[in-house]
Every structure is written in C-alpha cells, then in structure tokens.
Structure 1
C-alpha cells in the first residue's frame, strides 16, 4: 500500500496542545476530514486512469475502485494518530488490490505507468491541510 506522510504545521500543533483532555476526541475527527479530501482526489484520479490508453479492451471489474476507502483514525503504540487511505483486501478473483494498484501506478513490462496516487498526494496536500484546519477551528470553537 502506498504511504503518504505530512508534517503538521507548528501553529496547528500549538492549538492542539491547548485542547488538553479533548485531544483524543478531536484529533481523529480532524484527520478524517483531511482523509476525505485525499480519498476524493485518489478516487477521481483512479477513475480517470482505469482502462485508459490500453491496446485491448479494458478488463476492469470495478473492484479496485470500490475497494478504495479510508481507515478510522487510530492511535499507534507511539501515541500518534494515523488515518490511511487505501484499498481493502481481498478481491473476489483472488488477486491483491495492492498489487493491481502498484501495477497501475508504476507500470510493468508492456504496460506503461499510469500514476494516480502520487499526483493525488501532491495535488491534495494543501486542500487536505485546509480541511484539517477548518475542522480543528470548528472543534476548538465548539469547546
């Protein structure tokens, strides 16, 4: 599965530290707001590359697109909150969604690369940060 890492702005981290005891309740909501933006961009990029530019008719079943989703925001063993945008497994045909996504992203012998994850990461970064800031502001104002 592809991994994207974003550094939190210092201003954002200072606001988070002021929230004290409600941090564990608010941070997952903020991360999920950002993940919605990223998932939307990945979904649109993926839909635009599936079956495009092929020599033969597309054999796409739509399983890869329907398997795309966002995990709930969970805290890891280091105390960091994480949310993942990726593909659920397994597929009904026995293949791996991660394998098929990798082939689409990087290509293979006789099949050119049709990147959809990396462009989604770079193009949705600012919108993701803005969505997270807006959600944090609304949560802070609600306190």
Structure 2
C-alpha cells in the first residue's frame, strides 16, 4: 500500500493556530464591518420612504431614523455570533419604533406599504459579504 506525507509550511500553521486563538476577538469585528454596510443601506432606504407619496403633509419627527442602529455582537447558546440591525426603544410619544417601522414596511388600512428593510437586505447582501471578507483578510494579515 502506498503512503504519502504532506508537511504544511510552518508559517501557515502558526497563522492558523493564532487565528483559532483569536477568533473570539476577530469574528465580532468582521460582523460589525458587514453590519455597518447593511445599516447604511437601511438608513438611506428609510430616509427615502419617510414622507413620500402621502396625501397629507408628513408629520415625521426624525425619531425613527435616529433610533435605527446596530446591536453589539453577541454569542448565542449554540455558539453562533449574532448582530442585529433595528430600532431602539422607547419612543417619546408612547408608540413603539418597531410598530411604526412595521407599518411603513407593510402598510395598514388606508396606508400603502413602503418597504425599506427587505430591499435593503437584498441590495446590500453582496456589499456586506465583500466588506466582511475584506475585514477578515486584513485581520488574518495582521496576525
């Protein structure tokens, strides 16, 4: 029976081991880079739909746009890292920012939907992945 032995370069093995040791530091930075790309697209879409195509003058206070942000990266019980883009609460008028965003996205009786989240997700996907790839490569190069 034939036998083969492959030796990996030492510098490659050192980088892989350093990457494994620092993955808990690197992964949140990579996710944050991608999250910022998506956040910017959501913000621009939200700004475009607020007050557009209304019968009456817009009553927008800008509070919904200010509440939009990125959560800190957290690790769930399965060991997966998560990052969320959403609205902080509470709102000054007693309403929920999430409720108002939902009404904008899907509409209600007498108000047509003005989607801003779903199109942002679709249009920023490639740019988000590229930003995360670039950040990961720069993190690996800095090891």
Q: Give the structure-1-normalised TM-score.
A: 0.87
Q: 1:109 to 1:39 in 2, by over 3 A?
A: same
Q: Determine the C-alpha separation between the residues in 2 that align with 1:17 and 1:31.
A: 21
Q: Which residue of 2 aligns with 1:124?
A: 124
Unpaired runs of 5+ residues, structure 1, are: 1-15
Q: Which residue of 1 aligns with 2:84?
A: 84
Q: 1:47 to 1:78 in 2, by over 3 A?
A: same
Q: Which residue of 1 aligns with 2:38?
A: 38
Q: After the TM superposition, list the runs of 4 or more consecutive aligned residues in structure 1 that deviate by more than 4 angstroms.
A: none
Q: 1:46 to 1:26 in 2, by over 3 A?
A: same
Q: Which residue of 1 aligns with 2:66?
A: 66
1:100 is displaced (CA, Å) by: 0.2
Secondary structure in 2 aligned to 1:115? coil
Cα deviation per residue 1:75-127 (whole Å; 9 max; x = unaligned)? 11111100001000000111000000000000000000000000000000000
Q: 1:20 to 1:96 in 2, by over 3 A?
A: same
Cα deviation per residue 1:18-56 (whole Å; 9 max; x = unaligned)? 821100000000000000000000000000000000000
Secondary structure in 1 aligned to 2:37? helix
Secondary structure in 1 aligned to 2:22? helix
CA RMSD, Structure 1 to Structure 2 (Å): 1.6
Secondary structure in 1 aligned to 2:53? coil
Unpaired runs of 5+ residues, structure 2, are: 1-15
Highest Rg: 1 or 2? 2
Q: 1:65 to 1:118 in 2, by over 3 A?
A: same
Q: Which residue of 2 aligns with 1:23?
A: 23
Secondary structure in 2 aligned to 1:69? strand
Q: Which residue of 2 aligns with 1:112?
A: 112
The alignment covers a number of residue pairs equal to: 129
Q: Give the structure-2-normalised TM-score.
A: 0.87
